[in-house]
Amino acid sequence: MQARIQKQRNPFRFGGLAKDDDFADRKKEVEGLTADGINGQDLVVLAPRRIGKSSLIGAVMTELVRNDVLVADIDLWKIPNKEKLAEALAAAIYGGIATRLDRAIERALTPFRGLRITPTISIDPGTGAVSFTFSAESSQADVDATLERLLELPAELAAERGKSAVLVIDEFQEIVRIDRNLTKVMRSVFQQQPEAGHIYLGSKRHLMEQIFNDPNEPFWRSAKQMELGPIPTDLFAEFIKKRFGDTRKDIDDEVVRRALEKTGGHPYATQRLCYEIWQATDLGETAADVELDLALEAVLIGEDGYLMLTWEDSAKAQQLVLGALAREPGHPLRKEYRSRHRLPAATNVQRAIGGLTRRELIAKDEDGTIRIAEPFFAEWINRSI
């Protein structure tokens, strides 16, 4: 069958950052985080994978810049060691803070020439982008001193010009992997910066909770915490209807309801499914049940490799629990539930739940109900296993 090619641009985005009109409603969160950032309040944002935290924080950073706040941001996910962390910090501070205070390249680079380790500074002749390299042969004491100085710079540079600064650190839980002692160094520096805000984003709940909720940890109770969950279905429904209407298509209200029932308002899953619904709908037509079914089939085919690997990476007891939860979200530790779904002893189920929770494949609702959290996994299990 020849693929349908449509001249109209698909209005739904998934996988990358959602910006401007592609960004589904998070107005309340953006306003709250922006106000906290302006006030210099340290923040912890907990968010499961693919829930849209990077898109959210991108919108927040845009609003902070509009309010004349200096913003530097780094992502720790792929940073392997302290030398690379220093390079990322230097580049972020230069690009988000130093250049906004002084457009002249040489003057903007001045704060980085006085570091314990003088970096090699490279300027791309085509783009003008500046990168920093710190020698891997430097002593650990010099690396530590350089990092500490870099952590001091955002607040110091901002204060010199009477401005506020915010440092955004994505996947903050990875700081423990880079060097366990860095939490002590960071906390020591940051608590001396009341004029600067710090936003810590994390996707691994158990590690973030250990860093910020353990009384023995340096960051204990040091920041306001918020959890980023699914978007309320009524708000997402408005977004979906509008995106269809703006592109000369329509979608049945019942189809919107069913789609959101499948995704639970999860941003990635909803945008992913609606992308396929839109693709299956002709211009001038209304998406109905047949388009939803085609779309769900296309999504599951596209996600099959990842979901199969996730299933195969699960221990046998975890697979049994996942299978039960795919059929019936509920309380797997209860005797009647285990009996109904032929689950093993409670101790084995408890161990499986712990492993699945750490992998963020399942989640617990406020009423204690446990459900599969990974988008489309329950649907895939029911159809494929």
Q: What is the pLDDT of residues 15-56, one digit of tens each?
A: 755 554 545 567 888 999 999 999 999 999 998 777 878 888
pLDDT attached to residue 345: 96
Could you give phi then psi for residue 194, rounded to 5 degrees?
-65, -20
Cα atoms in the 13 Å half-sphere on the side-chain side of 350: 5
Mention every residue, 6+ apart, whose C-beta is less than 8 A from residue 43: 33, 36, 37, 197, 198, 199, 200, 223, 224, 225, 226
Q: Predicted confidence band at 7 (pLDDT cuts at 50, 70, 90)?
A: low
5: in domain: no
Residues 263 and 199 in one domain: no
pLDDT at 70 over 90: yes
pLDDT at 81 over 90: yes
| Torsion over CA: 342, 344, 349, 351 (sign) | negative
Last residue of a domain, one of 280, 310, 340: 310
Q: How many domains does the chain have?
A: 3
pLDDT attached to residue 90: 96
Mean pLDDT of the chain: 91
Residues 145 and 247 in one domain: no
pLDDT attached to residue 22: 47
pLDDT attached to residue 381: 97
Residues 167 and 254 in one domain: no
> Which residue range is the domain that position 363 belongs to?
314-384
User: Which tens digit of pLDDT belongs to each residue from 276-296?
Assistant: 999 999 999 999 999 999 999
The CATH number of the domain holding residue 259 is 1.10.8
Last residue of a domain, one of 212, 227, 242: 227
Give the whole-angstrom CA distance, residue 263 versus residue 272. 9
User: Which tens digit of pLDDT belongs to each residue from 341-384?
Assistant: 999 999 999 999 999 998 989 988 889 999 999 889 999 999 99
Q: What is the model's pTM?
A: 0.81
Give the whole-angstrom CA distance, residue 365 versus residue 245. 34
User: Which tens digit of pLDDT belongs to each residue from 310-342?
Assistant: 999 999 999 999 999 999 999 999 999 999 999
| Weakest mean pLDDT among 16-20, 174-178, 242-246, 292-296 | 16-20
Q: Do residues 360 and 48 lie in contact, with contact meaning Cβ atoms separated by under 8 Å?
A: yes
Secondary structure of residue 366 in the 3-state scheme = coil
Last residue of a domain, one of 227, 260, 292: 227
The CATH number of the domain holding residue 325 is 1.10.10.10
Q: What average pLDDT does the segment 205-234 reach?
A: 91
Q: What average pLDDT does the segment 144-162 reach?
A: 94
Q: What average pLDDT does the segment 120-129 reach?
A: 86
pLDDT attached to residue 115: 92
pLDDT attached to residue 1: 40
19: in domain: no
Residues 254 and 363 in one domain: no
pLDDT attached to residue 2: 46
Residues 293 and 333 in one domain: no
